[in-house]
Amino acid sequence: MKKQLKKLFLFNRTTPVEYLERLTKQLAGPKIFIKRDDLTDVALGGNKVRKLEYILADALEKKCDTIITTGGPQSNHARITAGVCAKLGLRCVLLLSGNKKELLEGNLLLDKIFGAEIRFADSWDFEKIHLMMEELAKHLALNGHKAYTIPVGGASGLGTIGYAECFSEILEQEKALKVEFSRIVTANGSGGTQAGLEIGKAEHKSKKEILGMSVLFKKEKALEYVKKEIALGYEVLGKDLSLNPGIIIDDSYLGEGYAIPDQRVLETIGLLGRTEGIILDPVYTGKAFGGLIDYIKLGKINTSENVLFVHTGGYPGIVNMTERHKKYFENI
């Protein structure tokens, strides 16, 4: 990557790549590896930390004292932003979708613990909420503050760069582990993680397949988002857009929709827990990993391949599952 961008260092290492030996044996398919981006240290970790390393460096460079962002009441992005702001001594205002009736649990409780100011937008329309955030920033400016707004999911050009960098990190780890991954699988929500990996792939002229398992949008919309974020990423890099010809997104594991885990998700969480001692979440990683397991069972991935799943975090979703979903684990 040519342009030198400002970056904060919020976690102190390369996140581990682990071979899931017991799971691989059980499925008798390709070798499955996992990149532990759930272990990015700050505020319980997750993929948003890599995004915030670039986004908040920009905010500090612009001498902002307040960060405004948004997400659902159980947003991992909001929780991590609140935690990182606490660490950096920045004021954090979360303008969350929904309304005050939301229960103070899971990520919302953590937002409070991290000292964020929580406001509810009384809307689920993020375009509208983004406008409200800009209004709030103007209002704070009148009172002598300089606010920096971050879109939902940290889906900005700078955020995307965090995952282009992650792709380079994966290539280094391949060398060290003497293994080659033919595919990288990740959950796709607002699209920035996949967009960043796609930029990394293009920059390195890599032939790896990147497979985004959509957990939020139907395929066409998810693709639109990824393309938009790739374009924003290239803008930040000051480069001309050189899109990969094939961006692969599968929405078959979306089930009934965002944050609604189906039986496959619960089974996948149980399976990873039992065989590898790894916790997946019911909103993102459980769904995406469930898709990967189905691909393996359907023989869509050759047994000679090495596949890498990027674990993007989301732990609080586990404790926040509905009683009905928790019941599944009572009976296994």
Q: Could you say which of 76, 149, 306, 320 contacts ligand PLP (CB under 6 A)?
A: 76
Q: Of 19 and 258, which CB lies nearer to ligand PLP in the complex structure?
A: 258
Residues that bind ligand PLP (rule: CB under 6 A) add up to a total of: 18
Q: Is 95 helix (H, G, I), strand (E, B) or coil?
A: strand
Among 30, 191, 200, 291, binds ligand PLP (CB under 6 A): 191
- Look up residue 20 and give its two tokens: 């899931």
Q: What interhelical angle do 157-177 and 192-203 show, nearest 10?
A: 60
The kind and range of the H/E element at 53 are helix 48-61
Q: Which stretch binds ligand PLP (CB under 6 A): 81-89, 117-125, 266-274, 279-287?
A: 279-287
Determine whether 270 is exposed, middle or buried from the number of CB atoms within 10 Å of its CB (0-12, 13-18, 19+).
middle
Q: What is the DSSP string of 251-284?
A: -TT-TTSTT---HHHHHHHHHHHHHH-----TTT
- Judged by beta carbon, residue 29 or residue 266, the one nearer ligand PLP is 266
- Of 172-180, 251-259, 296-304, 306-314, which segment contacts ligand PLP by CB under 6 A? 306-314
- Candidate list 75, 97, 156, 190, residue with the active-site label: 75
The answer to the question of residue 200 lying near ligand PLP (CB under 6 A) is no
Interface pattern 209-248 for ligand PLP (x via CB under 6 A): ----------------------------------------
Which one among 30, 73, 162, 189 touches ligand PLP, defined by CB under 6 A? 189
Handedness of CA 154, 168, 8, 286 (dihedral sign): positive
281 binds ligand PLP (CB under 6 A): yes
Distance between CA atoms of residues 88 and 330, nearest Å: 41
Q: Which residue in 43, 312, 318, 320 binds ligand PLP (CB under 6 A)?
A: 312
Q: Using the rule CB under 6 A, which residue among 29, 45, 153, 200 binds ligand PLP? A: 153
- For ligand PLP, which is the closer residue by CB, 157 or 191? 191
Are 307 and 20 contacting, i.e. CB atoms less than 8 angstroms apart?
no
| CA 168 to chain CA mean position, Å | 17
- Contact between 192 and ligand PLP (CB under 6 A)? yes
Residue 214 annotated in active site: no
DSSP state string for 195-252 = HHHHHHHHHTT---EEEEEESSS-HHHHHHHHHHHHHHHHHHHT------S--EEE-T
Residue identified by tokens 């799971």 is 23
- Contact status: 47 vs ligand PLP (CB under 6 A): yes
Rule CB under 6 A: which residues touch ligand PLP?
46-47, 76-77, 153, 187-193, 281, 284-285, 312-314
List the catalytic residues: 75
